[in-house]
Structures are given as C-alpha cells and as structure tokens.
Structure 1
Amino acid sequence: MDGNIGSMLAKVRQAFFGCLPRWFGRWLASRHPDLVVAPQGDRAQLFRDVIGERQPVGALVAHAPDMKPVLDVAETRSWRRIILELPSALILTRRLVLPAQVRGNLRRVVAYELDRLTPFAPTEVFFDARVVAGLSGGTTIDVELALCPRGQVTTWVDQLRAVKRPPSQITWPGAWAEANLLPPDEQPRPRRLAWIISGLLLLLVVGLTVTVLLTPLWQRAHEQDRLAQELTRMAAQAEEVSELREALERARVGSLAVLEHKRDYPRMTGLLLELTELLPDGTWVQTLNYRDGAVDIRGESSQATALIGVLERGPGISNVTFRSPVMQVSASGSERFHIAFDYKTVAVQ
C-alpha cells in the first residue's frame, strides 16, 4: 500500500513541477533533492538529483564503519528519497504474456508464479513488472518483468538501513519511469505523508474513543463486518489467482496436445510417394480423400482387380478394400475402381 501511495505522490509531484517555470521549479525541488547511490563493485558514486539533473557529491565504500557522515553531503538538510541505482548488467529482464484479468494484481500474480517463470523464488530476488500493451483483442497482456538477485545488492540495502537512510527505490539505467525493484512492504513511508497520517490517526483515535464509549456494541459489530468483508475479498482474490493458474496450465497442456497431434499427423507427400511407387503402369488416380487416417481413392487401371494385393505391400497401408465393384470402361478398355484403406506414417528405424 505504501509503495502505491509513494508512486502516486511521485506522479503528482512531477506534474506539479512541470506546471511551474523551470527555474522556480528547480529552486523549489532543490530544497529536498533525491540522493542517488550508484554502486560499482565495492564502491558507489553519490549524485544529488534535482528533477532529473544530477551532480556528483561523493562516494561510498562498501562495509565502511559509518556511512552517515558521507551521506549527509552538499549541505543538504534532508534528502527526499534515497535511490539505489544498480548497474544494468545486474538486471535480468523477460517478456511475458498473461491473461488480462491479472492487470489489477500484476505484482502479486507475478510473485505467485515467479518460481515457475524464472529459476528464482520470490524471496531470492528484487523484482518489478509492468504492462507494456494489450494483446489478442484485450484477452491477454504483454508484461515486462525485471529482477535482480538479492545477494548482489543486499549489502548496500542493509548498510543504508543501518544508518537510517533506507532506500525508497531500487532502479537501473534505462528503467521505465515507475520501476522499483524494492517490494512495497519494504519501502519507507514518505516523511510528509507520515506526518499527515500521524495527525489523522490522532483524530481517529479521539473519534474512536468517543464512539467506543458511547456505542460499544455498534463498534464491535462494525469491526466484525469489516473483517468479514476483508476476508471475503482476500478469498476471492486467492480463488481468482488459482483459477488463472489452472487456465494457464490448461492452455499449456492444450498446446502440447496440438503439437503431438501435428507430429503424429502423416505427411501427404509421403502417401503420394508410396502410391506412385506401388501403383502399376496403366493406373491413374482421379480423386484422393484423407480423413483421420482413412484414405479413399478413385481412378482407372488396366489391373484394377490386382490393386488390393499391390497396395497391401505398402508400408503403413492396411485394411485395403473395394468400396464398390470394379466397372469396365468400354471406351478405354480399363477398369474403374473405388478403394479405401487405412494409412499411418511408419517410424524410420
């Protein structure tokens, strides 16, 4: 929840400064700039970021005894955010196609499926995902997934937290605007928002105290209803995720079945080649029909009555029968035949 609020406030702040004259917006934003920590091995460069404009202000060394004096640089009284910017080489990206129903719970669904989609478990990586575009008439969405193994950045995250400068965002060069690999529950609350929430909570406590003193029974019933609604909502979300997973599995099984059916389906060129080699001279086929392994041919031949034995010698051909009696063609002196048989591809040893 805090991560969503922080992202929303960032959008509002960006839109607000975009409406101001550039010099005034930059001056206003410079009172509370962002600090960008960009690790490179055991060292990290520090940048003072004011609405996207960066200025180098120092460097850090991993496992330093005390980072706090180094972080309090450039006469900056307070940093609005601490941004950990990882090298692009540490970031793994992948494109996914998921059902459109997961758009509202994208991060939760990706975390639930992460061990199937990647070699990692959710606890082993920092990750984020976004919807790139809709596909297939709106039934599926194109999703971009970005992740980084925790072991490669945990040192910097833990050290920043140890000196009371926890990172608000983990990103990388070239990331999309709202990308943040840090899980929402590990993101610090915005300071001004915390002050506002504290005041609202104080008023809420006073109001609840009066309410509890005056109407204890109503308060208890209201709380029970709220908990029941929350439980129903969570159960519905869990059922939706389970149904989506089953739908994905059915789609995967169906795809495999189609591929297996296509593999077992005989090639018509092989059947035509066998008939060309088997049928004697003076025989030609006028029509050939194939359906689910059953072949039906019509034509004329000077040796129509002998075709049964000739065709039975062919590999993959079985159950050869005449569908109708052989008829003599007076004009050509040949015999008209209608033969049916079963055909399947013979595996090459």
Structure 2
Amino acid sequence: MNTPQENPSLLQGVRRYRVGTGDFLAWWKESLLSWVPLRWRVVFGLARNRLLLSQAGDRLRLQVHDANGLQELALLPLPLEAIQLDGVLGNRAAKLPRWLLLPAGSALQRRMLLPAAAAERLRDVVRFEIDRQTPFTADHVRFDARVMGRRADGQLDTELVAVPRASFDAALAGLGDLAGSLVGVDASDGAGSPLGVNLLPAELRRRRHDPLSTWKWVLAGVAVLALVAGLWQVLDNRRAVAEAFAAQVDARAVQARVVATQRQQLVDIVEGTAFLDQARAERPTSIEVLDELSRRLPGNTYLEKVGIEGDRLTIIGYSPEASALVGLMQGSRLWRAPALSGAVQPDPRTRLDRFTLVADLASAPAPAPAQGAANGAGTP
C-alpha cells in the first residue's frame, strides 16, 4: 500500500481534497451568514464592513465598503488627526477597521498558475516569484496574492499584487497620524473597487479591539460554568442514584435477613415438632403405662404417685407384697429393668409396706410374644 509520502500524485490529491474542503466550509459559512440580517451581522461583528481611506489630492476620501459595495461617506481636508476623524465619524463607522485604498495603477498585477498545494502558504510561495514576475526584488515591494479561481485539474489561478516600497511608504506618510490606525492596505482595480488584498505587513497592522470581546469572555465563562454545573449535576445525580441503590440493597438485605431468620425459626419448629413426634412415637403413652400397671399390679396394691420424666418411670405406693412387685413388673414391652429404689418402709397405720419402684421406658414397643411360644416356654 502506497503512502502519500511515497506517491507524489497521491499527496497532491490529498492536499487538493483538503483545500477543497476548506473552500466548501468557507462557502457554507458565507451562505449561512447571508441568511442573517445585515444589521445583526454588523452588531455581532460578523459583517466584513470596513472604512476605506484614500487620498484625492489634498483631501481624504472616506468610503464604507460593505456587502452592497462602496458608499461615499465624507471628503475631509488633509492633514487630519485620528481624534478629528473620530469626531467626524459616527459611533458605528468609527469602530470599523480602517484600510488605506491605493489608487488604480499604483500596483503591479501579474497572473500566475500555481499547484493546489500552494494554497496553504500562498504568500510564501509568491514571494519567490517576485524576482521573475516583476522588475523588483521582494525586499523592495509590498506584496500580496489572491486566488482568482481553481481549474479542473486542481491548479490555482492566482494574481500577484505588488507596490514599490517607495510609493507605499509615501502613501502612508501622506496620512500622517492616521497611518498608525490602519489594519490593512488595499489597491483599487480599474473600476475603483478594492482588489481584496492586504499589502500592509503583519508587524505594521494595528490590532483592533473587538467591542464584543468582553461579552465573548463573559459568555465563554458562563459556558464553562454551565458545563461544570452540568457535569456536577450529572455527578450528583449519579451519586444520588448510587446512594438510593445502596439504600435499596440494604433494605433488601434486612428483609433477606428477616426472611432467613424466620425460615430458620420455621425449620427449627418443624424439626422440633418432628423430634417430639418421633420421641412420642418411640415411647409408650401415659394411658398405655397406666393400663399396663393396672393389669400387672395385684388388687391389694395402692399407688400414691406415678411419674414419667423422660425415659424414667417412677411408682410410689403401698402393698403387702412390695418385694414381689419387681417380678410382676418384669417382662413388659413398655418398660425394662424394674427395681425398687431405696428400702421398703412399713406403714403402721395401714399395715402395708411403702415402696418406690423405678423402671426405664422402652424406646420402641417390642412385639408381643406369641401365645403358643409362651405356653411352650412354660412347659417343662
């Protein structure tokens, strides 16, 4: 792939396209400005109006050059000071940039054909053509160049405008103090209209104060403040959204913790209920224990207390055969290991023995032995 540096024709095409784009933007700007009323363009400094000063013998001719052409303003005697000129001009005309307009025939004009790349630095390129196009050197003339047109192949049809330095300096000297207020020097064509060049060197041009510069700085400051305020507002909105999102996350986290706690409580209740149900299912009920006791204990035995604490069965009562109760309690499927707790105490009032009998409740009901097996076990 060739680069513009390796291919001169490609480089020339790129430069031609870039220059064409600049011309299009300039044309587009002029087209947009044409829709703005002339009065507004003058007020906002968008119009290219200028005040032309030209010598007519011993008098100074004042003309205003605007979009409608040249308009005669006044004809004043020379010499004239800048303060006197400001007093004659109106407020609006006094603020216009001042140009010296040289008479027709005072400038040498030469047409030249230059490549499109010369448009970027037209004045520097034309400087090297002065020796060949005029009988003067570049140091002895004041010169400028203008583009007259563009050909189909991209080349520029330009015109060199040069004025001998002696004539140029004499024209400036004829203005006296007014020469220091000039921003440019132009030359007239055969019809008396300006050529549209600036022969005044850049170091001699007066920098005019833009009356709207203060407003421009104020508007620029307001724009910067508005931009900063807008960015700050965006940042503040982002911060508010982040804080709201964090608060929402915290609220959801609290809700999640509450739900988790409630769920754990529910799980604990379910597990506890299941454990109690399982424990209740594994142990005999109180009714079953009382029924079993009523069937195994003899009729002359009286119970004072029957207590069930966990897997522990405690029986307190009176019986004439307290020592034989252990044997009667054995072999039940509801408890195991029955035994007397403590000594048997005779009761003189009832003439019965007071006993305390303990046993361990069975975890799971044992299957009842078959009747035939029980009879077989009792047969010698």
Structure-1-length-normalised TM-score: 0.43
Rg comparison, structure with higher value = 2
